[in-house]
Amino acid sequence: MVLSLIRPFTPVSGAVLVIAIAGLIRSLLNRNSYEIVLASFALLFLLVLGIFGAWKSRKLKSMEPGWKPPSPMTANAVDDERQRALVTGLEAAIPLFFRLHFYISGRFFPGGLGAKKGCHLSVETAIPRGETTAQIPFDFPMSGVFQGDGFCKLRDIFGFFAFPCGQIRHSTVNVRCAPCFGKKIIINAQSGAEDQRNKPSADVERYYQREYTPGDRLRDINWKSSDKIDALITRISTDNQEKVSRIEVHFRNFGYANDSIHALWLLDRSKARLSYFLRSLLDQNSSFIFDVHSSGKNWEIEDQDDMDAFFEELACLSFVPPQNEAAIQSGAGDMYVFSTACDLMLPTFLLSCNPRPVTLFLTQPGDSTANYGKNMQTSSNDSPGSRLKKEKTNKDNFEALHIQDFVSKGFYPPSRWFIKQKIKPLSIQTEKIEMFYAEIKI
C-alpha cells in the first residue's frame, strides 16, 4: 500500500515535499505567516497535481501501447534511423501540463543468455502532443539478448510525478554483432566437398530442348524438331548435374563459464568474423553450401534466408564449458575454424583435424599500444622473428570496446566490468592462421 502511494513521486517531488513540510513546521513554530502561505501553497499544488494526474492515469489504463524493435537488430547502429524502436498505439487525450513518456526497461545479456546476470538498460522518450507514434533510440554496444518491457508513464511538465498508465508489453530481442570488415575473402572452390545434384523436370520436352544459341555444338541440334517449327532447336543432356561446393565451418564457442566482459567481447568479435566470412563467400558464389558446426548444434546454409536465420541464432550463442571435442572426419577438403583465446582445447582439436587442411580465424586479447599486422597470415614454418615482423605493420585488425559506451546508451554496467581481467593469448601452431585482436577500455 505504501509502495503504491510513493511510486508516482519523483526525486524532485520528494525533495519539494520534504522542504515544504519542514518549512511549514518551522513557520508554524515561528508564527511566520509569509512562510506559512508559501509552504501551504507548495503542498496544495502538489496535492492538486497529484490527484489530477492519478485520475487521468486511471482513464488511460486501457491504453495498449506497443513497441517494435528493428529487425534485424544490429549492435552499434545508433546513427541509423532504421535501428530505432517504433512505438505505436498512443491514441490518447493528454491533459494540459502533462506529457506521455514511453520507457523500455529490462536486462541485456551480452554474448547470449549464458551470461549470469547481464546489465540493466533503461531508455525513454517523450511523446509530442498530438502524435500517435514515436521512435525511441535503442542501441547496444555488442551482440547478445535483451529481455525487457515497454510501458508508458504520464508525467507533468514540472517533473513532480510519473504515473504508470496503459498496458505493459514484454519482448525479447536478439542483437546481432556489429559488422567487421577486412580484405576480400577468396577460397578455392575445389577445397570444399562437392555435392552433385540432379535437376529433374516434369515437362521433358521443354526441359531437354531449347532454342539454338551461338556456341552450341552442331551435333546437339535436333533437326527434326527444327524443321517443324522453322527454328533451330538444341538438345540438352538428360542428366543435368550441378556441382556445388560444400564449405565446412566450425565455430568454437568454448570458454569461461563466468560473464567476464573481456571474454564476451572476444566471442562477439569472433562472431563478427564468422558473419563476414559467410556473407562474403555467399555474395561471391551463390552455389556455396555451408555446414556450420558449434557446440551442440549444426546448420546447413544454402541461401540468404538460411543465413539470416543463422545470424539470429548466432546472436544467442554464449560460452559453454571447454570440452575435448574431436574433429569430424567424415568430410573432405578444407576446414575453416573460428575461435577465441578462451578456447583452451583448441590445440587438441586442431591436432585431431590432421591430415585435413585447416584455416584458423583466431580472436586474441590485444593492447592498443601494440602494432598488429593487417589481416596477418602466419605459418607454423615461420621463425619467431618472422612472425613478429608480420605482426608489427598496422592496427587494422584491432577492435576495442569502451565500457563508457554502455553508460552513454542507458546501461548500468556491473562494477566487476570495470576491473580488468587478464586473458592469456593462445599459442597456436597451424599452417594457415589469421589473427584478430580485441581489447576492453574504460
Looking at residue 323, its pLDDT comes to: 73
Q: Tell whether 231 and 263 lie within a shared domain.
A: no
Task: Dump the DSSP string for 38-90.
Answer: HHHHHHHHHHHHHHHHHHHHHHTTT---EEE--SSEESS-TT-GGGEEEEE--
Q: Tell whether 233 and 251 lie within a shared domain.
A: no
Q: 16 is written with which cell numbers?
A: 519539494
Q: Would the pLDDT of 250 be above 90?
A: yes
Domain span at residue 132 reads: 66-176
Looking at residue 147, its pLDDT comes to: 92
Q: What is the CATH number of the domain that holds 95?
A: 2.60.40
User: Measured between alpha carbons, how far is 421 from 440 in angstroms, rounded to an integer?
Assistant: 9
User: Measured between alpha carbons, how far is 345 from 343 in angstroms, rounded to an integer?
Assistant: 6
Looking at residue 291, its pLDDT comes to: 92
Peptide bond into 72 cis (omega under 30): yes
- Give the count of beta carbons closer than 10 Å to the beta carbon of residue 303: 10
User: Measured between alpha carbons, how far is 197 from 296 in angstroms, rounded to an integer?
Assistant: 28
Q: Tell whether 214 and 282 lie within a shared domain.
A: no
More confident position, 379 or 433: 433
Q: Would the pLDDT of 419 be above 90?
A: no
Q: Would the pLDDT of 240 be above 60?
A: no
- What are the start-end ranges of the H helices in 179-222? 204-208
Q: Tell whether 235 and 368 lie within a shared domain.
A: no
Q: Which of 35, 59, 83 is the last residue of a domain?
A: 59
Q: What is the pTM of this model?
A: 0.76
pLDDT band of 385, cuts 50, 70, 90: very low
Cβ atoms 103, 151 nearer than 8 A: yes
Q: Quick: pLDDT tens for 252-280.
A: 988 876 668 888 999 999 999 999 999 99
Cα–Cα distances (Å) from 57 to 131, 157, 161, 165, in that order, read: 18, 15, 11, 5
Q: Answer yes or no: is 192 within a domain.
A: no
Q: Tell whether 407 and 426 lie within a shared domain.
A: yes
Cβ atoms 256, 263 nearer than 8 A: yes
Q: 326 is written with which cell numbers?
A: 574431436
Q: Tell whether 71 and 120 lie within a shared domain.
A: yes
The DSSP output letter for 161 is: B
More confident position, 373 or 232: 232
Q: Tell whether 271 and 409 lie within a shared domain.
A: yes
Average pLDDT, the chain: 80
Q: Tell whether 104 and 81 lie within a shared domain.
A: yes
Looking at residue 392, its pLDDT comes to: 40
User: Measured between alpha carbons, how far is 383 from 86 in angstroms, rounded to an integer?
Assistant: 56
Q: Tell whether 156 and 78 lie within a shared domain.
A: yes
Q: Answer yes or no: is 272 within a domain.
A: yes
Looking at residue 2, its pLDDT comes to: 34
What's the total number of domains in the chain?
Answer: 4
Strands (DSSP E) along 157-191, which ranges?
A: 162-176
Q: Which of 41-45, 129-133, 201-205, 370-374 has the highest mean pLDDT?
A: 41-45
Q: Tell whether 20 and 131 lie within a shared domain.
A: no
Q: Tell whether 253 and 365 lie within a shared domain.
A: yes
Q: Quick: pLDDT tens for 170-215.
A: 999 999 998 887 777 777 654 555 554 444 444 444 446 777 766 5
Q: Which of 313-317, 420-424, 425-429 has the highest mean pLDDT?
A: 313-317
CA 56 to chain centre: 39
Pairing of strands 241-251, 335-340: parallel
Q: Quick: pLDDT tens for 58-113.
A: 888 888 888 888 888 898 876 666 678 889 888 888 888 899 999 999 999 988 87
Q: Answer yes or no: is 189 within a domain.
A: no
Q: Tell whether 267 and 160 lie within a shared domain.
A: no
**Cβ neighbours for 430, distance < 8 A, ≥ 6 positions apart:** 350, 358, 360, 380
Q: Answer yes or no: is 129 within a domain.
A: yes
